């Protein structure tokens, strides 16, 4: 159904197209869940770039493991014109160090890799802010994160994985 005045697709039709796209991405193995695609896409890119094993969603505290047993928490942030915030989703139980490395990526508005990094848990703990009333830690991927000596820029590796996926 289209808008009779402009000829453009209706809101309902646009939402149906969105659902169809998400379903096709799940069928192709890009997405695992039914939420925002950024996190699942980030997991896929990191796993392709570094041959990590993605864990079942029921595994708490980390998303992937490499051949050496290093545990990775994967987080993504999509930057859009209305929302340029680089704050990642909250971390719970950061004190227990549930992962060894944070694998983080900033996506552009159309999901292109802008920047990506591997960040040791010690850096995340040191740089994150505890929000007691939320029982959570906040961490933001500002450009200064890439200047921290322990942080490894892996932007090119993720861009290569992105190109492989087509």
CA-nearest of 120, 119, 112 to 158 is 112
Quick one: pLDDT band at residue 5, thresholds 50, 70, 90?
low
What tens digit of pLDDT does each residue of 10-40 get? Answer: 889 998 998 899 999 999 989 988 778 999 9
- The residues near 8 (Cβ < 8 Å, ≥ 6 apart) are 2
pTM (two decimals) = 0.89
Distance CA 21, CA 24 (A): 5
What is the mean predicted confidence (pLDDT) over 62-72?
97
* Domain 37-165: which CATH number of 3.30.390, 3.40.210, 3.30.70, 1.10.10: 3.40.210
Domain boundaries, the chain: 1-30, 37-165
Chain mean pLDDT for the chain: 93
């Amino acid at each position: 159904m289209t808008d009779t005045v402009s000829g453009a697709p209706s809101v309902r039709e646009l939402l149906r197209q969105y659902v169809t796209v998400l379903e096709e991405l799940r069928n192709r193995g890009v997405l695992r869940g039914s939420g925002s695609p950024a996190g699942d896409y980030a997991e896929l890119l990191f796993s392709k770039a570094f041959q990590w094993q993605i864990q079942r969603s029921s595994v708490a505290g980390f998303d992937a493991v490499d051949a050496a047993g290093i545990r990775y928490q994967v987080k993504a942030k999509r930057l859009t014109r209305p929302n340029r915030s680089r704050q990642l989703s909250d971390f719970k139980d950061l004190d227990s160090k549930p992962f060894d490395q944070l694998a983080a990526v900033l996506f552009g508005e159309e999901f292109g890799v802008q920047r990506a990094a591997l960040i040791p848990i010690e850096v995340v703990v040191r740089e994150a802010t505890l929000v007691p009333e939320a029982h959570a830690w906040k961490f933001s991927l500002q450009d200064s994160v890439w200047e921290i000596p322990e942080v490894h820029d892996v932007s090119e590796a993720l861009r290569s994985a992105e190109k492989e996926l087509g």
